[in-house]
């Protein structure tokens, strides 16, 4: 699907790819897979993550299965643009935590001939569109939606259910705080919580 070393590399055309889905769906795993293939193709690659993501490592992007890749940690999306010199491929993990300027940054990078691969949650724990991911999906050439497995019934899961009553929008955590659920199970729990 994605050519790591395009036939007309001298023209170096950039584009934006978005990998989205619920928690535990394999977004970071797919991001790392694509970045490793780009490195095998001899391309200059870097991956960025927001400072708020400290769950597994301060300076690595890490999957739930502990597969890791070194990362550059940045406070703001604009820093990615400043650090992009000489790169062919840029990965961005946990993109929902960056501000809305990430859309302009991604467009600028792609216009400079850089392949931009972005991974993030498309909805928050309330099932609402999350951060700049919906806008990034709109400008992307390629969008991949991945799914987890529902922890209640085993169907495909599209929702990240928060198991606590904490109402803050950004609350990083793992299976202690979140579980993937299908639409039916998610709304069943939401109805039960209202009662």
Q: Establish whether 94 is a catalytic residue.
A: yes
Contact between 131 and 98 under an 8 Å Cβ cutoff? The reply is: yes
Q: What distance lies between CA 60 and its chain's CA centroid?
A: 14
Of 4, 17, 30, 94, which one is the catalytic site residue?
Answer: 94
Q: Using DSSP bridges, classify how beta strands 68-70 and 60-62 pair: parallel, antiparallel or unpaired.
A: antiparallel
Contact between 146 and 121 under an 8 Å Cβ cutoff? The reply is: no
Distances in Å between the Cα of 1 and the Cα atoms of 5, 80, 128, 132, 181 are: 12, 26, 30, 25, 29
Strand partners, 4: none
Active-site annotation, residues: 94
């Amino acid at each position: 699907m994605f050519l790591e070393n395009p036939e007309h590399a001298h023209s170096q055309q950039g584009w934006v790819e978005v990998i989205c889905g619920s928690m535990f769906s394999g977004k970071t795993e797919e991001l790392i897979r694509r970045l490793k293939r780009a490195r095998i193709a001899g391309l200059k690659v870097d991956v960025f993550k927001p400072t708020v993501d400290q769950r597994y490592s301060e300076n690595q992007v890490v999957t739930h299965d502990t597969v890791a890749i070194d990362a550059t940690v940045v406070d703001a999306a604009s820093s990615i643009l400043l650090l992009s010199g000489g790169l062919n491929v840029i990965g961005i993990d946990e993109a929902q935590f960056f501000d809305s300027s990430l859309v302009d940054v991604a467009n600028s990078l792609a216009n400079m001939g850089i392949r931009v691969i972005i991974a993030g949650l498309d909805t928050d724990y309330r099932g609402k569109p999350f951060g700049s991911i919906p806008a990034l999906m709109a400008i992307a050439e390629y969008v991949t939606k991945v799914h987890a497995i529902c922890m209640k019934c085993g169907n495909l899961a599209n929702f990240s259910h928060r198991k606590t009553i904490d109402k803050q929008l950004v609350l990083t955590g793992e299976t202690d705080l979140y579980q993937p659920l299908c639409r039916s199970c998610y709304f069943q729990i939401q109805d039960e919580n209202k009662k």
